[in-house]
Structure formats: structure tokens, C-alpha cells
Amino acid sequence: MEKSRKSFGSGLTTKFTPVLSIGDKHIPKTSSTLTVRDILGRWKVRWGIGRRGFRVAPGLYAVGEPDRKSPVLVTANYKMTFDLVRQALAGIDAFILVLDTKGINVWCAAGKGTFGTAELEARITSTGLRDVVGHRELILPQLGAVGVAAHEIYAKTGFAVHYGPVRIDDIKAYIAAGMEKTPAMARVQFKLRDRLAIIPVEITQALPIVIAIAAACSLLSLPFDPAFGVRFFSRVATMLGAVAVGIVLFPPLLPYLPFRAFAAKGAILGLIWSLAAASLFRMSVPISISLALAAIPLTAFLAMQYTGASTYTNINGARIEVTRGIPIILISELLGLMGLIAERILSVRTA
């Protein structure tokens, strides 16, 4: 079914012409080095282009020259994930068992259950893995444990599940140590590079917000008189600045901002930006206050959205942020807009 999809064909940028034959099983061989096309594809999805079609066909693959004793690593069929796995396996002979996670990464797919017990069991059977390898051991990514019950896999298939490191970069050290991981390998991180990786796709997704803000700011700068340009610039720069701060500055600064709630952290950044904008653009106090009331909630909202990209938030806390934060965000936004509209009406009347 999946193979007939057009987007699937275009997303499957890796060609698997060489085949490894073990018994009557013919396993496609994949390389541990990426082609220019693979790297270009990764860059595109980082910017949010064609993410849904960026998949590989589920099934069994060979890296290097694996034999019946070689380790079997289980992963998702999001192509970025698959590419990171095969890259990390450079110099190791292994099998990669790709589950059908609908093009979603391991952790998110495990949360949805597609990287799950049923799919793993079915994929072991459909690939004939029992006839390919002599052993009965599987290495799963640790974050896949959200969706897979190791004891059920053992009971149903006879394969013993080993949860490997969180990050695939540690896989060589893990295998070399006889499938033992250090406490550090088991900890999920949210380092600067992890936090920055999400910025491009957030920028792409913010484009409609940018257009809406530009339209709203031009209305709030009416009428068309010689000072329209100055008014428009100060308003649009303050508001778009608040968006930029929420998308670009919030991720790197996350650990250093006070409060645990993301919306509160974002509001702090939004406040600092609003003060900076007020002095930069030399606006009057009433306009500055109105703009701050409209701009701060934008940063706070974008920061709150970032909970979904983080690696350590829980549902209860996020629910509190939403139920308490959204009303404050909406009221502040409304007050700010009313202030800006009132300022325009008053100045036109007095003129």
C-alpha cells in the first residue's frame, strides 16, 4: 500500500541495488555514507520541506557484510532517523530492522504506538528474521521503550530486547562494551545543538503569523499620511521582533531564563524585548505600553509551544500552562490591540 504512494517514491532517495543473500533471504544493502542527495534531503526537512514523505520502506537492511551472528538494530522509517543510524554504523557489520512508523521519529512514534510491540512482532515475522540470524537478540533505541514492552516481545517472538543508548552516536561504544551502557548513555539531553536544530522548521511555520502581523500593523498605522511609514515600522518591528525572539532566542536561552513554565520564561524575554523596542524606536509611553501588551503574549505563546519540542516536559505541567496561560495571553493581546486602536482614533480626532 505504502509503496504505491507517489510521495513515498520521491522520499525514498536511497537506492538499494546491492543485495546480501543469506539462505533464501535477499536483504538490501545500504551504505554507512550518505550521498549528496541524502544530505540535501535532510537539510530540506530541517526547514520543514517534504517532511511527511521523507521515509524509507520498512523491512530488513544490511550495513557492511553482516552474517548470522551480527547484531540487529531496530529503528523507525523516518529517513532522517534511518540515515543517522546507518551513518553511526560505519565500520560495523549489522542488520537494521526498520519498523513502519509512518515516517515519524522513534520517540514520537513510540508515544503514538506505531513504534510498538505489535509492529515489531509483525516485522520480525514478515522479514523472516529468525532465518537470517542465528541469535535471538535485538538492540532497540532506548526511547523506543515508550511503545515496546520488552517482556511481551520475548514471550511472543523469543527475541530478547536490549535497550541501547538514547543517542545513536553512542552505539559503537555500546556494542563494543558488550551491550552495556553507561548512565550518561541512558540520559536524554537537551543540549544547545538539540535546541537549535528545531529553529529552521519553526521559522518556516511562522510565515503565516508574520503575514498576519504585517497586515494588522498596517491597519493599526492608518491613516495614510506622511507619518504612516514611521508608525508602521515601529509597530511591525516590535511585533515581529517579539516573534523572532520567541523562535530564535528562546531555544538557546531556555536553561538560563527564570521560572520552570515555558510561557513565563517567554514572557520575560518578551518584556525585555518590548523595553528595548520602546527605547530603540523612541515611542511614546502609551504606545509602548500598548505594544508591549500585544507583543509579550506572542513571545510567551511561542515559548509555550516549544514544550512540544523539548525533552523533559510532562502533560500535567503543560496542561497548567495552557489553562492558566492562554486566558492571560488572550486578555493581554486584546488590551494591547485596544490600546493601539484607541491611540489611532484619538490622534485622528485631535488632528
**Which one-letter DSSP state was computed for residue 249?**
I
Backbone angles phi, psi at 60, to 5 degrees: -105, 135
Contact in structure between 50 and 80 (CB atoms under 8 Å): no
**212 lies in the site for other proteins, by CB under 8 A:** no
Helix (H, G, I), strand (E, B) or coil at 292: helix
**146 lies in the site for other proteins, by CB under 8 A:** yes
**CA distance between the termini of the chain:** 68
Site for other proteins in 114-143 (CB under 8 A): 142-143
Please list, in sequence order, all residues whose beta carbon lies within 8 angstroms of the beta carbon of residue 77, skipping any fewer than 6 positions away: 55, 56, 57, 58, 98, 99, 100, 101, 102, 103
Site for other proteins in 235-274 (CB under 8 A): 254-256, 260-263
Separation CA 123–CA 94 (nearest Å): 17
x/- binding map, residues 270-309, to other proteins, per CB under 8 A?
----------------------------------xx-xxx
**103 lies in the site for other proteins, by CB under 8 A:** yes
Sign of the Cα torsion 153, 131, 62, 182 reads: positive
Nearer Cβ to other proteins (201/337): 201
What's the min distance (Å) between Cβ of 104 and other proteins? 6
Residues pairing with 95 in the sheet: 62, 72
Say how many residues touch other proteins, by CB under 8 A: 61
Stretch binding other proteins (CB under 8 A), from 16-24, 84-92, 220-228, 310-318: 310-318
What's the min distance (Å) between Cβ of 291 and other proteins? 25
Among 163, 174, 250, 273, the residue binding other proteins under the rule CB under 8 A is: 163
Separation CA 50–CA 62 (nearest Å): 26
**37 lies in the site for other proteins, by CB under 8 A:** no
Nearer Cβ to other proteins (131/180): 180
**209 lies in the site for other proteins, by CB under 8 A:** no
Stretch binding other proteins (CB under 8 A), from 59-67, 148-156, 269-277, 287-295: 148-156
Contact in structure between 8 and 53 (CB atoms under 8 Å): yes
Please list, in sequence order, all residues whose beta carbon lies within 8 angstroms of the beta carbon of residue 222, skipping any fewer than 6 positions away: 228, 344
Contact in structure between 238 and 295 (CB atoms under 8 Å): yes
Please list, in sequence order, all residues whose beta carbon lies within 8 angstroms of the beta carbon of residue 163, skipping any fewer than 6 positions away: 140, 141, 142, 144, 145, 150
Nearer Cβ to other proteins (167/231): 167
Among 62, 291, 298, 318, the residue binding other proteins under the rule CB under 8 A is: 318
**202 lies in the site for other proteins, by CB under 8 A:** yes
Contact in structure between 92 and 65 (CB atoms under 8 Å): no
**56 lies in the site for other proteins, by CB under 8 A:** no
**319 lies in the site for other proteins, by CB under 8 A:** yes
**326 lies in the site for other proteins, by CB under 8 A:** yes
Task: Specify the length of the chain in residues.
Answer: 351
| Interacting residues with other proteins (CB under 8 A) | 48, 51-52, 102-105, 107-112, 142-143, 145-151, 163, 166, 181, 183, 186-188, 190, 198, 201-202, 205, 254-256, 260-263, 304-305, 307-322, 325-326
